[in-house]
Amino acid sequence: MDLRKIKSALKTALIGSVFSFAAIATNANAGVTDEDILNDAKNTENVVSYGIGLQAQRYSPLDKVNADTVKDLVPAWSFSFGGEKQRGQEAQPVIYDGRIFVTASYSRLFAIDAKTGQELWEYNHRLPDGILPCCDVINRGAALYGDLVIFGTLDAKIVALNQKTGKVVWKSKVDDYKAGYSLTAAPIVVKGKVITGVSGGEFGVIGRVEARDALTGKLVWIRPVIEGHMGHIWKNGKKTDNGVTGTRGATWPGDMWKTGGAATWLGGTYDHEVDLLFFGTGNPAPWNSHLRPGDNLYAASTVAIDPDTGKMVWHYQSTPNEAWDFDGVNEFISFDLKKDGKTIKAGAKADRNGFFYVINRKNGKLISADPFVTRQEWTTGVDMKTGRPVETATARPGDPAKSKDGKKGTSTFAVPSFLGGKNWMPMAYSPKTDLFYVPANEWGMDLWNEAITYKKGAAYLGAGFTIKPLYEEYIGALRAMDPKTGKQVWEYKNNAPLWGGVLATGGDLVFFGTPEGYLNALDAKTGKELWKFQTGSGIVGIPVTWEMGGEQYIAVPSGWGGAVPLWGGDVAKRIKTLNQGGSLWVFKLHKS
């Protein structure tokens, strides 16, 4: 080897080592890593994912705040989202390195000093006229990855901001907001990919799951969840066909699958042990089920998707040929089911249709299905042989095509109402008590079907409805469900419908908010109310907890709104005195 070659080789080696040093240095500053996200449920100093871990158990082992100390829980500070944009605040805050990132109504995102409550920066997404959010201008939270904070917007975009500056790093258009698409769910990040669904179920949009490179926003794969639609995967920057979902035409008549709905509007969860994403899918479109005889896969289902390839691995359909707006979007929470001396890798889901399902998360096999509501006037139970619900004779409203004028069918009274035995608000699971804490509602509806044809950007229902409370005393009920028996262990009744998420802690407490404005702490074993605090507006957000400087903190957004005041029918009368707001409340133990 001559000298020149040696010099050149040396230079290459040096450059190589400089580069690798630079790469290590960048990693040290890289912020939130995949490992941080996988360990989120155990690391009590940060909350770096929606669900407090990708399994979404919403359980923190923190126990300084417990049955003995919770009486000393007092506000540390409160932060106003400001402006005139005081609508439903349904977010779960995320916390990293002393900063809180919380989304607010109208696609806003705030970065706040976790110690002082001081604003660090604010991002106001510029929304065009003509966005089509079905159920208030809400947002449910952001994802963290590297030095980015990532969230979806009401005009169907994903925006990634620098955590320190709030500057836009990348932006990606998901779809056409004029066709009814929007994004309200919190994204999750799995193996460096940001995973999202789509909102817009009542406009005949096609539900799908998408994976993007979390650092660049570039698409990796797309999986539509309605049978017949082509999936895609990007290979060397090129969009490539990745197989049709299911078998086109197998469970849908004619062309109905083309506008078949099943919006994946609540986002998904992930389980590391079986390496699968779990997404719930919305109701098939339109609501009028007489127009689409067949099971209408994969609407009103739970689907398991391979996070690397975007292929569907299994599905379980909770409501075949769905007819009541029983979206199957609810969170599927993986957990270890200890039953009959065995530990089964399971998952649980409290569905809009009123059933609490326990499913084997490796293969989708149904383990149990039990009601978590007091009345279910559309079914007599699930046939465990077929996994299908048995419908009552009066479950479905009449076919409008068979009515005198061909326009409006006969009405039926169905329970739960279309807002569900449980809606979007996430339940929690405590591995300490082995119980799920389900925010449930008791209501029914008069429901009838009407003639309808698809029109881009117009509501695609073919139905009319009026929601009615079932009981004078209460609508909402937080219920502790035992996944081993499917039985309710205790319940806490609430006058207004519950619409906020739940947090369980190692201090054996369960935290959740009410539309009446209270953040409540109950005993996780008995349901006894131990503490409550009035936040000044209704709570429809999700509480979280973390540790800072040796103290345990609890945060919850407050701000009344969401779907209930917009769609609540007779229920809306009960809640008309509740006031709007928009703030983040943070609590810690008072030091005497």
154 or 504: CB nearest Ca ion? 154
Beta-strand runs (E) in 129-167:
143-145, 148-152, 157-162
Q: How far is the CB of 465 from Ca ion (least distance, A)?
A: 12
**Can you give the length of the chain in residues?**
592
Nearest CA among 295, 296, 263 for reference residue 281: 263
Question: Does residue 325 carry a catalytic annotation?
Answer: yes
Give the amino acid at 153. T
Selection from 23, 109, 62, 171 nearest residue 524 by Cα: 62
User: Using CA atoms, how far apart are residues 439 and 504, in angstroms rounded to an integer?
Assistant: 13
- Smallest gap from residue 289 Cβ to Ca ion (A): 13
Place of tokens 């399971």: 346
Burial of 276 (0-12, 13-18, 19+ CB in 10 A): buried
Identity of the residue, 283 or 552, whose beta carbon is nearer to Ca ion in the bound complex: 283
Report residue 5 as tokens. 């070659």
Phi, psi angle pair for 426, to nearest 5°: -75, 140
Query: Minimum distance from CB of 198 to Ca ion (Å)?
Result: 13
Question: In this complex, which beta carbon is closest to Ca ion, that of residue 316 or of residue 424?
Answer: 424
Specify whether the CB–CB gap between 450 and 407 falls below 8 A.
yes
Minimum Å gap between C-beta 261 and Ca ion is 8
Q: Which is nearer to Ca ion, 65 or 300 (CB)?
A: 300
Q: Which is nearer to Ca ion, 322 or 442 (CB)?
A: 322
Do 320 and 388 form a contact (C-beta atoms < 8 A)? yes
Task: Judge whether 90 is annotated as a binding position.
Answer: yes
Q: Does 140 carry a binding-site annotation?
A: yes
Least CB distance to Ca ion at residue 59 (A): 29
Smallest gap from Cβ 224 to Ca ion, in A, equals 17
Question: Which residue's CB is nearer to Ca ion, number 201 or number 280?
Answer: 201
283 annotated as a binding-site residue: yes
Can you tell me which residue has the tokens 């479950």?
Answer: 395
> What DSSP assignment string belongs to 470-487?
S-SS-SEEEEEEETTTTE
Residue 144 CA, distance from chain mean position: 16
- Note the residues at the interface with Ca ion (CB under 5 A): 201, 282-283, 325, 327
* 424 labelled ligand-binding: yes
**Which helix (H) or strand (E) segment is 556 a member of?**
strand 551-558
Known binding residue 325? Answer is: yes
Q: Check the annotation: does 353 bind a ligand.
A: no
Name the β-bridge partners of 378: none
From its phi and psi, is residue 549 left (phi > 0), alpha (psi between -120 and 50) or beta? left
Which one of 136, 325, 508, 523 is the catalytic residue? Answer: 325
Binding site feature residues for pyrroloquinoline quinone: 90, 140, 184, 423-424
- Residues serving a catalytic function are 325
